[in-house]
Structures are given as structure tokens and as C-alpha cells.
Amino acid sequence: MTAFYIGEFEKGRKKEGCLTYENGDVYTGTFNAAGLRESGHIKFANGDEFAGIFEGGAIKCGNMTFKESGDVYSGEFEESMFHGGGGIIYSNGDKYSGEFENGKKHGAGVFTFAIREEKNVAQEENKQTM
């Protein structure tokens, strides 16, 4: 499959539209002056989806839904990993809200169980303490 774009152009560059990548990922949204993703929605070939803001074409901040697990992450990203403030709603109804570093829970956060029990937690190198 070859990548293709359907949408608006401005000064010979992509402005707003739909870009289908060779790997099957589909991005719908706006592009910056350099032709990089700026703000929109991407559906990955594996079924995962992201909606939000891109910086330099990379995911920066928004919502990521994971098809296989049903989990949803909302927050900041760095190098396509959870990084900074954010939260996860797990498919079983449990929730975590707090800090992330390099794709893992790190620092202070609150884990709320679907059974309505709340515990303050601290994360260090993905080791949970309660």
C-alpha cells in the first residue's frame, strides 16, 4: 500500500485532510507549515486511537484508547510514551490519576478502584507502594 493524502493544500503543502500511511495508520486533522501533524485524530493499524495535539509531528497531549484492553489514557506524552500529568481509566472501571515518566506511573498519584475505594500511592520505577 502506498501512502496517500486527501484534503486541502495551501502554498503546495498539506493543510487539513486525511493521510493514510503505508502501514495502514490513518490521520485526520491539520498540518503545520512544515507538513507535520498538528491537531487531529489518528487510528493506528492495530485499532488503537489517539485524538489530540501533536508537536513536531509527534504525539504531545490528548486521549489514547487501546483497542485490545479497552483502557483509555488522557494526558501528556513525550516520545510517544506517557510522560507528565495524566490519567488512565481501565476497562474494569479502576482509575489512576497522577504523574508518569517514560511510559510508567511515577511519583504521586491516586488510584481509585471501581468498588469506590481510594488509596494514595507513590510510584518509583514502576514499583507500587500503598
Q: What is the pLDDT at residue 2? A: 86
The residues spanned by each domain of the chain are: 1-68, 82-130
Averaged pLDDT, 91-97: 95
Nearest to 28 by CA among 20, 126, 77, 112: 20
Nearest to 126 by CA among 96, 94, 103: 103
The secondary structure of residue 21, as a DSSP letter, is -
- Is 45 within 8 Å of 25 (Cβ atoms)? yes
Q: What is the pLDDT at residue 116? A: 65
What is the pLDDT confidence band of residue 52, given thresholds at 50, 70 and 90? very high
Q: What is the pLDDT at residue 80? A: 87
C-alpha 61 chain-centroid distance = 7
What is the pLDDT confidence band of residue 127, given thresholds at 50, 70 and 90? low
- Residue written as grid cell 479497552: 70
pLDDT tens, position by position, 16-51: 999 999 999 999 999 998 889 999 999 999 999 999
Averaged pLDDT, 69-76: 97
